[in-house]
Amino acid sequence: MGGMVLKCRDVGVDCDEVIHGHNEVEILQKAAAHAKDCHQGVQITPALQAKLKAAIKNEGQGSSSGCCGGSSCG
């Protein structure tokens, strides 16, 4: 499908939110909205934005909790 994903936990937050999008811009917009709604007081600083960008993965890449999609997944 070619989508991208960002997990709050991947940036060190104790939160199970998983944000899906088509590109980095969409993910960052959704992450900012999520932070505003669920993590009051969080400021999206340049340092946090860099951390968010580094944590964005292609769908299915680096997933430790979901199915890897491989034939041995079970």
Do the domain assignments include residue 30?
Answer: yes
Q: Quick one: the chain helix, strand, coil %, rounded to 5?
A: 40, 15, 45
> Are the beta carbons of 54 and 4 closer than 8 angstroms?
no
Token pair for residue 66? 């979901």
- pTM (2 decimals)? 0.74
- How many structural domains is the chain composed of? 1
Do the domain assignments include residue 64?
Answer: no
Do the domain assignments include residue 40?
Answer: yes
Do the domain assignments include residue 70?
Answer: no
Do the domain assignments include residue 68?
Answer: no
Do the domain assignments include residue 8?
Answer: yes
Token pair for residue 3? 């989508």
Do the domain assignments include residue 37?
Answer: yes
What pLDDT sits at residue 40? 85
What's the mean pLDDT in 2-27?
94
Do the domain assignments include residue 10?
Answer: yes
Digit-coded pLDDT (tens) for 37-50? 998 888 889 999 99
| Burial (CB count <10 Å: 0-12, 13-18, 19+), residue 5 | buried
Residue 38's domain comprises 4-58
